[in-house]
Amino acid sequence: MSDDEAGYTEYRCTNCGRTTPKNTPPCDRCGGYDFERVEVRASDFDDEIRGGSTLAVVRDNPGVAAGIVVVVLGIVLAALAYGGVLVVADPTGTYRFGTVPAEPVDDDGTLTAGEFRTRVAATHEVERLAWGGTGLDMRVRTEATGGGPVSEEILSVARTYAEYVGSGGEAASLTLTMETPGGEARVTVAAADARAYANGELTDAQYRERVLG
């Protein structure tokens, strides 16, 4: 190191390369006892900036690296869920997110979310069905116009949702967006109301009132 170049002395572990300002073994990282004295020049900082090793950054900051991996994985899973490739859920299965594809309806006595979509699609144009936490979000397109016809379309889907809930469906609610030529109508149907209707505890008129408000 030249006299006109600023610098300082530090000690580097010969085993793992960790540096310290004092020769005080053992090494905090690997426990090694062999240190070598090195002269650090001002120009060394430029070299590190130009050629810093990604591997070294990951090695020195494992927590940060793990956090980055988790974030990236979360973004990928969210994209797959939104795109309908898969449905993701928390470890308990309570909260789910992702598009639900249609499934053939079987005769096992229960209805899945995919079978519910198939039932609705038999009489309506379903744009999308997705889990949004504990409930389902459905978007349906209709050519109906006017309050009365649109309300009947909404009630038709709500009745099918009651069949789904009454047959073991797990969604705690259905948020239905009915897309019409003149705009959108949106309602949220609680599973408790749908179940009561399916069990005969609510009349059709009472259920209509719960759904349409």
- What is the DSSP secondary structure assignment for residue 28, as one 8-state letter? T
- Give the residue, 86 or 17, on which the prediction is more confident: 17
Shared domain for 203 and 110, answered yes or no, is yes
Residue 91 covered by a domain: no
pLDDT in tens, 97-154: 899 999 999 988 899 999 999 999 999 999 999 999 899 999 999 999 999 999 999 9
Angle value at C-alpha 59, between 54 and 64, nearest 5 degrees = 85
Q: Give the position of tokens 């170049």.
A: 5
Angle in degrees, 0-180, between the axes of helices 204-212 and 191-198, rounded to the nearest 10 = 170
Shared domain for 202 and 109, answered yes or no, is yes
The answer, yes or no, to whether residue 170 has pLDDT greater than 50, is yes
Shared domain for 201 and 103, answered yes or no, is yes
Residue 123 covered by a domain: yes
Shared domain for 107 and 78, answered yes or no, is no
pLDDT at 21: 85
- Give the residue, 97 or 85, on which the prediction is more confident: 97
Structural contact between residues 16 and 8, judged by C-beta atoms closer than 8 angstroms: no
pLDDT in tens, 12-57: 899 888 888 888 888 888 888 888 998 877 665 555 545 455 555 5
- What is the DSSP secondary structure assignment for residue 14, as one 8-state letter? T
Shared domain for 11 and 71, answered yes or no, is no
- The residue range of the domain holding 10 is 1-52
- Average pLDDT along the chain: 82
Q: How many domains does the chain have?
A: 3
pLDDT at 59: 61
Shared domain for 74 and 4, answered yes or no, is no
pTM of the predicted model, to two decimals? 0.60
Shared domain for 206 and 106, answered yes or no, is yes
Shared domain for 132 and 166, answered yes or no, is yes
Residue 88 covered by a domain: no
pLDDT at 23: 86
pLDDT at 76: 47
Residue 90 covered by a domain: no
- Give the residue, 60 or 123, on which the prediction is more confident: 123
98 forms beta bridges with: 131
Residue 168 covered by a domain: yes
Phi-psi region of 53 (alpha: psi -120 to 50; beta: other; left: phi over 0): beta
Shared domain for 164 and 144, answered yes or no, is yes
Shared domain for 23 and 104, answered yes or no, is no
The answer, yes or no, to whether residue 2 has pLDDT greater than 80, is no
Phi-psi region of 178 (alpha: psi -120 to 50; beta: other; left: phi over 0): beta
